Amino acid sequence: MLARARRIDGGAVTAPDPLSEMEIVRRARAGDVAAFEQLYRAHFAAVSALARRMAWNTEEATEMVQDIFVRAWEQLGSFEGRSAFGSWLHRLGVNTILNRIESSKRRAAHLSNDPDDDVDTFASRGAGIDERLDLEAALKRIPAGARAVFVLHDMEGYSHEEIAKLTGTAVGTARAQLWRARRHLMRLLDR
């Protein structure tokens, strides 16, 4: 059933055979919690890696993973099988994370009068040299919108056009956010 192995973020995980995965999805859509658990176990590593790259802390990443799988359970009926379940789940995950980031930005805007408050530095956090060299740690320090575009473009391989459509922004805005993210990362990693 979970026959083939593939590598995600350097760790081995099992990936379901596409034929049996469709059967598992069918059972999960019918309300079989054990079948959904199988999908969860098979795709947890990939969803978790995506959330860790886009989150600003470990707690937030954990909440994002939970949100993604809750939304997957709720929207399982919309999975039509035209793509692999993992592809559908990845797109659902990206959308869930972007919605969460947008909600956080709106909440922060109500609490802050300074629009540049989202810029965080290593110095203000008292980070050590090891953390400065860590891309994952640096990603957590850049503004949420710029981080999302950086992860989607440079790490996940989405085009500027796809990112613009996913985020509901103009292509030029996506390009500007990517430039901003790269500038912040270079500054953070050069310290």
On the CB side of 146, CA atoms within 13 Å amount to 20
Check whether residue 99 and residue 163 sit in a common domain.
no
- Of 88, 111, 134, the position where a domain reaches its end is 111
Residues paired with residue 7 on neighbouring β-strands, in sequence order: 12
Check whether residue 68 and residue 144 sit in a common domain.
no
| Count of domains observed in the chain | 2
- Of 111, 127, 155, the position where a domain reaches its end is 111
CATH number at residue 148: 1.10.10.10
Check whether residue 107 and residue 126 sit in a common domain.
no
Residue pLDDT, tens place only, 55-111: 877 888 898 999 999 999 999 999 988 889 999 999 999 989 888 877 766 655 544
The span from the CA of 47 to the CA of 51, in Å, is 6
Residue pLDDT, tens place only, 106-150: 655 544 444 444 444 333 344 444 543 567 777 878 888 888 888
Check whether residue 56 and residue 38 sit in a common domain.
yes
pTM: 0.58
Q: Where are the alpha helices (DSSP H) in 30-82?
A: 33-54, 58-75
Which residue range is the domain that position 144 belongs to?
Answer: 119-191
* Residue 151 DSSP one-character state: I
Check whether residue 151 and residue 79 sit in a common domain.
no
Q: Which of 104, 86, 1, 95 is nearest to 46 (CA)?
A: 86
Residues paired with residue 12 on neighbouring β-strands, in sequence order: 7
